[in-house]
Structure 1
Amino acid sequence: MAKDIKIALVGNPNTGKSTLFNLLTGLNQKIGNFPGITVDKKVGYCKLADNKQAEIIDLPGTYSLYPKSKDESIVFQVLADKKNSSYPDIVVLVADATNLRRNLLLYSQVADLGVPVVLALNMTDMAKKEGIDIDINKLSERLGVQVVAISARSNSGLAELKQAINNTTAIATQVEGTDVHVLAPEAIALVKQHIKTDNNYLALQILHQHQHLNTFSAQDHELFERIIAEHTFESSKLQAAETIARYRYLSGVLSGVVKDTGAAKKFVFSDKLDSILTNKFWGFLIFIGILFFIFNSIFSWSSYPMELIEYAFVWLTEYGHQHLPDGILTNLLLDGVLAGLGGVVIFIPQIAILFAFISILEDTGYMARVTFMMDKIMRKFGLSGKSVVPMIGSLACAVPSIMSARNIESWKDRIITIMVAPLVSCSARLPVYTLLISLVVPEKMVWGFINLQGLTLMGMYIISISAAVLVAFVMKFLIKAKEKSYFIMELPVYRMPRWTNVIYTMYEKSKTFVFEAGKVIIAISIILWVLATYGPSERFAEIDKKYEAIEAQKDSVQISTLERDRAAEKLENSYAGILGHVIEPAIKPLGFDWKIGIALITSFAAREAFVGTMATIYSVDSDGEVATIRNKMRGAKDPDTGLPVFTFATAFSLMLFYAFAMQCMSTVAIVFRETKSWKWPVIQILYMTGMAYVASLIAYQLLK
């Protein structure tokens, strides 16, 4: 998309930067990766005044230009390198008006790099409620940049911000507020001379972290290291000296600019809530109650839309069979692609509800409290408090959660977190759980207000989290390391959720689920349909000969029954059936037949492929009658015993297998990328598959 100007949003965590990004770009955004790394790059587009087209990049949140993690290092890489593809024409620095002094530390560093800056003071409405009065004009005059008061939550100040961006030129002069040259004058002078710049702070930053910049050659890096050694450049001491100098400068800037008339009232409401919600007893009880409500809602609220989607696909399949010409392509489209796709789309309501609740908990500030409460417990089991964030994130997806473990400084804590995060039940397992629960758990209320199916679903999540914690406890003794970890977290004040953000999250996550899982499942469905429709020609010829002989002796009333038996026998002798029968002896003790075996194999590409596989197999196995996947599975009988295939014992055994097994190639790939070794993903696959087999075996043998 053509653009007239490139804008980078920069700011501390929890300043509303991402909210502003969503507000400016709406749905006109995309997510990719920064070149060469797996950190998310959010880019969007919006129109400014005079119909200017702006490309907006949402950079990761950071407290300063000195990174503590890979994510934070992106900010420096982008702003210090004009050759970087993401280098902006203008930086919009988003600052929290309720904590301006701390936020302006990052502003002063970015401004000293010589990048044109607009300062957006967010949460000004909240600052007023807390009795904080900011003289915007005086602040703008002292900093020498445009300052705009906004409130991203209430959508105010947006027009003024766009106008300020228009008024900021790419050649805007930044005044260095802190004389950084005195920190290392000779070393800075040599770097300035080498890279041909007159910016003292850029030269100082290169001395601190030149290794983060790919723009320099190996010889450049060697030169910088030589300068550092020859001039005794002590990075940590100089960072501390710079920070002190900047805060001294900012104290002067803010003198007479910020008046706090409500210090006594500040955060009183949040503190009162925290005394209850983070209480050692009541806090956990409330958290469990919230979980009950979420899982109860997933089943109760989604039932009607799921039924509508389910019957819509049944109608589409019937309509297709009635109006499309008979043949291989029609069968492939309806019994392969459409059946597999239906197995994905039906779960959109549940995925949307789950992510809506996660978004609300994050938006209100409650999720940060959950992390805080879990810190002490996690440490007893060998995990850092920072491990809670990836583990909670794994409720959505293990891939970004494993990537977020980069924020954990301790190598041991980080490896243990990566190894156990996939055990926490992700959204890909949700379709498997809900399908199996709907087959064997009655839809009734317990104590008049708790849905029994929702209670069972919550039980599966508790089992997965407990397993992750116990495995972490074992690994605490197996993995040796000397580092000590620490956990520092800023608790945001409680706020009302931004409903537009919640709706956008529901839409974005549901879309991602359909398109990402859908691509895999459609591909698997097509391959599976071919494998389930065709088999060794001699076997199929014998089956046809057998049923032709039977048909010659039977009357026409029984032809439909014979056709169903013929289809079932052909499926069993197809390439998919042969594959299922090969692994059946190994999975029979778990209560699984060869059809479930096929689903287990396809699920190693993506767990949610289980539903699509079942839909395709039972579509191929049908006698022409169109029914919902749940009804087909509910009616499936064991040919030897005549009993239902999906009993409570089989369903629970299968859910435990999916709860523990590493059936996600994306997760395996990301573990390899994050650990830079095949050792850890191989260990992960072996121990998780072993756990899954043993747990399923015990469950089935006890419950059958």
Structure 2
Amino acid sequence: MARVAQITAPAGTAASAVALETLGDFPPHGSRSLTRIALIGNPNSGKSSLFNQLTGLNQKVGNFPGVTVDRKTGISQLTPQHRAEIIDLPGTYSLYPKSLDEKVITDLLYDRAAEQFPDFVVVTVDASNLRRNLLLFTQLADLGLPTVLALNMTDVAEQHGVRIDLAALQQELGVPVIPMNARKGIGVTALKIVIAQQLSAATVSFYEPEAALVPMLRQIRHYFNLHNDYLALHYAHQFRQINFLTADERTYIGELVARYDFQATPQQAQETIARYARINDILLNAVTVTRTEKNEPHSNRLDKVLTHKVWGYLIFFGVLFLMFQAVFAWASYPMELIDQGVAWINSLIQTNFDGPLISLLTEGILAGLGGVLIFIPQIALLFAFIAVLEETGYMARVTFMMDRIMRKFGLNGKSVVPLISGVACAVPAIMSARTIENWKDRIITIFVTPLMSCSARIPVYTVLIGLVVPDEPVLVIFNLRGIALMGLYLLGFFAAIFSALALKLLLRTRERSYFIMEFPVYRWPRWKNVGITIVEKVKTFVFQAGKVIVAISVILWVLASYGPGQALEKAETAARASAAQQQLSKAETETRVASEKLENSYAGLFGRTLEPAIRPLGFDWKIGIALITSFAAREVFVGTISTIYSVGQDADMRTVQQKLAAEKDEFGRPFFTPARAFSLLVFYVFAMQCMSTLAVVYRETKGWKWPILQLVYMTGLAYVSSLIVYQVFK
């Protein structure tokens, strides 16, 4: 193994010394210029932060388990001569996977013929909790993988009175140990220097299978051409879950397991006990703890309040209330500026130019673009709050608290992560449900997550709330519109948990679920990461959702501006004759002409076909068009109504809310009454108006059964709820 300097120094100085001492023992790579390195570690060990530091990629960094679900890769320039491909694997506590994302690790590390099999493994460990973190390291080392230990959070360990003798630890583990602070980038250069060398596997063995198992393991080794007994042991433990094994190979291992009466669960327990006994010996030689009880970390003191069985929930709902107030109150000024700016440009063009292309530009493209840009401030604020909650470590506490409630409804604490993430977007939220070990809990979570109001619903909510809810203060510091917005989010949440309760009673399984959560320490948010999150989410909204919104707006303008045969000309002639007979003014005449032409256009005919089905909900054919087009993405609704109500309207009707406020029913009264607006709001709270969500549910459940059931259930729930609201309040 490498020579080691006798160091017991802070992270910044020790890293360089260890790296330089390590260099001489490992010759450089041969002709290979791109090394493949896997980052593996426990949740909250700083693995994703290290990935960012090594690759420079702007990956999101979270403080709660499950944020890294899929394998992520990036290129790192280790030295001027060496580049490496870095693979960021999901967080795990051991090599015995309990969830789908943890299986990514075993499928990769058990198959040396795999395309992505790593040359080296960097194991990130929390220096303040070495005993728990070293379990995974010892398993990886016994697999025979060349390994480096990234001793992260050394500053936190020192604050807790934990002193680590790096030389002794490196001697005990048989691999290079690099102290570091991944969040601040301390020690990263030293780590790059070390992993740029041709490392060897650990020189120390931490666990030997018992002698009675050796005959079985040697047969597995010979059959699969494996390099050590411990890897063969994992084949025996997990042959049913290892994806790359063929049916015949599984049958072969199954017969061996039965012949030797191999009991996986007791063997795993025995191995874990033996490993912790060895880890305890290692720590006695390398770690000294000087902390006393009176120096209790500030995180524990905060948790006594923030996770309290009463105050904890009140504080959490207070945070949510603040978030929704901010989404309305703080974002109102930039939204108004954006709205007025787009409307001013639209009005300027319509005043000075005329013709079909100008109508396409103002009533189609600019109307759709305005429906995208106006919501940037609200989306930025929403994701800013979520990023801060994750960065500080508070989100993990929310998960813990909500486990007490969720279990009563067929979910567990880990379901909170997808549900809260669903406030941002249902697609990654559903993917994050992979961290839920229990099949029943996972299916229920996937099924109900789309009921949480995602950011795509914000445009619909804000336009309609702003139309019918007064902008009035409540108790001086609150706003009535903010309260209405929070009410819609709570409505979606309660629909989700009661739907989960129904599924809990319908789905039968003997599998028991459990919940283990490790709290990260509280930290000040890294504002760079918060800023990156905001920018990325806004870019995603503008460039992905925006493209769909603008494209559909243009298509709708075409459908609303043209009709079959001479239908538009006939409608215009009839409208002008009727207006002349009633002696209407020029402005009133043009409004009637525009309305009649729109009703007889292709869009109007399409909406009229749908209208009988949605009329009991208070909706007309124009809203029907918006409901259909918004199935591509919920936020398309605003672009659609902006386009539909733009066609033929006066240039002075500048903003979306002005257009909706000016709409009249057949009796000349305002069309968007509170009953009609709240009926539409309730419909969008429950409706599955998102093709992307259905696609990801299909992918995650491996079939069309659950997405179809989801679509039918949510559409039916939306229709019935909207019907009740309109019929009661109209």
TM-score above 0.5, yes or no: yes
Residue 179 of structure 1 corresponds to: 208
Matches within 5 A, 1:506-521: 506-521=534-549
Give CA deviations for 1:618-637 in whole Å, capped at 9, x if unaligned.
23243455612222222222
Match status 1:136 vs 2:163: no
**In structure 1, what residue type is equivalent to 2:441?**
D
Equivalent in 599, 624, 635 of residue 572 of structure 1:
599
> Displacement, 1:132?
0.6
**In structure 1, what residue type is equivalent to 2:102?**
E
Which region of structure 1 is more displaced relative to structure 2, 63-72 or 450-459? 450-459
> Displacement, 1:170?
5.4
Relative to structure 1, the CA distance from residue 214 to residue 470 in structure 2 (aligned partners, 3 Å threshold; closer, same or farther) is closer
Contact 1:584–1:597 at 8 Å: present in 2 too? Answer: yes
Contact 1:7–1:90 at 8 Å: present in 2 too? Answer: yes
Match status 1:667 vs 2:697: no
Relative to structure 1, the CA distance from residue 161 to residue 602 in structure 2 (aligned partners, 3 Å threshold; closer, same or farther) is same
**In structure 2, what residue type is equivalent to 1:616?**
T
Describe the SS at the equivalent of 1:91: strand
Give CA deviations for 1:574-608 in whole Å, capped at 9, x if unaligned.
12111212222222232222111111111222211
Residue 58 of structure 1 corresponds to: 88
Residue 638 of structure 2 corresponds to: 611
Residue 149 of structure 1 corresponds to: 179
Equivalent in 370, 395, 408 of residue 342 of structure 1:
370
Relative to structure 1, the CA distance from residue 658 to residue 176 in structure 2 (aligned partners, 3 Å threshold; closer, same or farther) is same
Relative to structure 1, the CA distance from residue 339 to residue 212 in structure 2 (aligned partners, 3 Å threshold; closer, same or farther) is farther
**Equivalent-residue separation in structure 2 for 1:44 and 1:173 (angstroms):** 26
Number of positions where the alignment pairs a residue of Structure 1 with one of Structure 2: 693
Relative to structure 1, the CA distance from residue 539 to residue 466 in structure 2 (aligned partners, 3 Å threshold; closer, same or farther) is same
**Equivalent-residue separation in structure 1 for 2:311 and 2:329 (angstroms):** 26
**Equivalent-residue separation in structure 1 for 2:683 and 2:502 (angstroms):** 20
Equivalent in 340, 356, 362 of residue 311 of structure 1:
340
Give CA deviations for 1:431-453 in whole Å, capped at 9, x if unaligned.
21112112222223211111221
**Equivalent-residue separation in structure 2 for 1:467 and 1:28 (angstroms):** 35
Equivalent in 113, 125, 133 of residue 143 of structure 2:
113
Equivalent in 486, 489, 492 of residue 464 of structure 1:
492
Q: Structure 1 vs Structure 2: percent identity of aligned residues?
A: 54
Match status 1:683 vs 2:697: no
> Displacement, 1:266?
6.0
Matches within 5 A, 1:631-646: 631-638=658-665, 640-646=666-672
Residue 34 of structure 1 corresponds to: none
Give CA deviations for 1:634-679 in whole Å, capped at 9, x if unaligned.
22222x1222222222221111110111212222233333334433
> Displacement, 1:331?
4.1
Describe the SS at the equivalent of 2:85: strand
Describe the SS at the equivalent of 2:150: strand
Relative to structure 1, the CA distance from residue 198 to residue 288 in structure 2 (aligned partners, 3 Å threshold; closer, same or farther) is closer
Contact 1:183–1:238 at 8 Å: present in 2 too? Answer: no
**Equivalent-residue separation in structure 1 for 2:353 and 2:149 (angstroms):** 61
**Equivalent-residue separation in structure 1 for 2:552 and 2:77 (angstroms):** 41
Contact 1:571–1:620 at 8 Å: present in 2 too? Answer: yes
Describe the SS at the equivalent of 2:410: coil
Relative to structure 1, the CA distance from residue 247 to residue 458 in structure 2 (aligned partners, 3 Å threshold; closer, same or farther) is same
Match status 1:650 vs 2:676: yes
Equivalent in 75, 78, 103 of residue 73 of structure 1:
103
**Equivalent-residue separation in structure 2 for 1:414 and 1:214 (angstroms):** 20
Relative to structure 1, the CA distance from residue 588 to residue 357 in structure 2 (aligned partners, 3 Å threshold; closer, same or farther) is same
Kindly report the root-mean-square deviation, in angstroms, between the aligned alpha carbons of the 2 structures: 2.9
Residue 602 of structure 1 corresponds to: 629
Equivalent in 381, 404, 413 of residue 432 of structure 2:
404
Which region of structure 1 is more displaced relative to structure 2, 570-579 or 513-522? 513-522
Residue 35 of structure 1 corresponds to: none
> Displacement, 1:296?
0.9
> Displacement, 1:400?
2.8
* TM-score of the pair, normalised by structure 2: 0.88
Query: Whose RCO is larger (CA < 8 A, sep 6+)?
Result: 2
Relative to structure 1, the CA distance from residue 266 to residue 602 in structure 2 (aligned partners, 3 Å threshold; closer, same or farther) is farther
**Equivalent-residue separation in structure 2 for 1:554 and 1:418 (angstroms):** 58
Relative to structure 1, the CA distance from residue 218 to residue 20 in structure 2 (aligned partners, 3 Å threshold; closer, same or farther) is same
Contact 2:632–2:691 at 8 Å: present in 1 too? Answer: yes
**In structure 1, what residue type is equivalent to 2:216?**
A
Equivalent in 160, 181, 191 of residue 190 of structure 2:
160
**Equivalent-residue separation in structure 2 for 1:320 and 1:91 (angstroms):** 61
Relative to structure 1, the CA distance from residue 124 to residue 183 in structure 2 (aligned partners, 3 Å threshold; closer, same or farther) is farther
Residue 306 of structure 2 corresponds to: 277
Give CA deviations for 1:282-323 in whole Å, capped at 9, x if unaligned.
222212211111111111221222223323433454566678
Relative to structure 1, the CA distance from residue 147 to residue 414 in structure 2 (aligned partners, 3 Å threshold; closer, same or farther) is same
Q: Where does the alignment leave 5 or more consecutive residues of structure 1 unmatched?
A: 32-37
Which region of structure 1 is more displaced relative to structure 2, 197-206 or 55-64? 197-206
Match status 1:91 vs 2:117: no
Contact 2:342–2:370 at 8 Å: present in 1 too? Answer: yes
**In structure 1, what residue type is equivalent to 2:492?**
S
**Equivalent-residue separation in structure 1 for 2:557 and 2:168 (angstroms):** 70
Match status 1:500 vs 2:531: no
Residue 289 of structure 1 corresponds to: 318
Describe the SS at the equivalent of 1:120: strand
Matches within 5 A, 1:452-601: 452-546=480-574, 562-601=589-628
**Equivalent-residue separation in structure 2 for 1:372 and 1:554 (angstroms):** 68
Contact 1:149–1:157 at 8 Å: present in 2 too? Answer: yes
**Equivalent-residue separation in structure 2 for 1:183 and 1:348 (angstroms):** 65
**Equivalent-residue separation in structure 1 for 2:50 and 2:410 (angstroms):** 38
Matches within 5 A, 1:240-251: 240-251=269-280
**Equivalent-residue separation in structure 2 for 1:645 and 1:52 (angstroms):** 67
Contact 2:76–2:84 at 8 Å: present in 1 too? Answer: yes
Equivalent in 382, 391, 396 of residue 354 of structure 1:
382
Relative to structure 1, the CA distance from residue 535 to residue 263 in structure 2 (aligned partners, 3 Å threshold; closer, same or farther) is farther
Give CA deviations for 1:305-351 in whole Å, capped at 9, x if unaligned.
222332343345456667888444x5445433442233123212211
Contact 1:615–1:629 at 8 Å: present in 2 too? Answer: yes
**Equivalent-residue separation in structure 2 for 1:466 and 1:144 (angstroms):** 53
Which region of structure 1 is more displaced relative to structure 2, 77-86 or 38-47? 38-47
Describe the SS at the equivalent of 1:48: strand
Relative to structure 1, the CA distance from residue 268 to residue 28 in structure 2 (aligned partners, 3 Å threshold; closer, same or farther) is closer
Residue 328 of structure 2 corresponds to: 299
Describe the SS at the equivalent of 1:620: coil
**In structure 1, what residue type is equivalent to 2:491?**
I
Contact 1:355–1:505 at 8 Å: present in 2 too? Answer: yes
**In structure 2, what residue type is equivalent to 1:509?**
K
Relative to structure 1, the CA distance from residue 481 to residue 229 in structure 2 (aligned partners, 3 Å threshold; closer, same or farther) is closer
Residue 12 of structure 2 corresponds to: none
Contact 1:587–1:593 at 8 Å: present in 2 too? Answer: yes
Q: Where does the alignment leave 5 or more consecutive residues of structure 2 unmatched?
A: 1-31, 62-67
Match status 1:387 vs 2:418: no
Which region of structure 1 is more displaced relative to structure 2, 98-107 or 334-343? 334-343
Equivalent in 264, 278, 286 of residue 293 of structure 2:
264
Contact 1:114–1:174 at 8 Å: present in 2 too? Answer: no
Give CA deviations for 1:390-411 in whole Å, capped at 9, x if unaligned.
2222222223333333343444
**In structure 1, what residue type is equivalent to 2:229?**
N
Relative to structure 1, the CA distance from residue 427 to residue 125 in structure 2 (aligned partners, 3 Å threshold; closer, same or farther) is same
Match status 1:694 vs 2:716: no
Describe the SS at the equivalent of 1:306: helix
Match status 1:627 vs 2:657: no
**Equivalent-residue separation in structure 2 for 1:174 and 1:579 (angstroms):** 73
Relative to structure 1, the CA distance from residue 154 to residue 28 in structure 2 (aligned partners, 3 Å threshold; closer, same or farther) is closer
**Equivalent-residue separation in structure 2 for 1:504 and 1:196 (angstroms):** 46
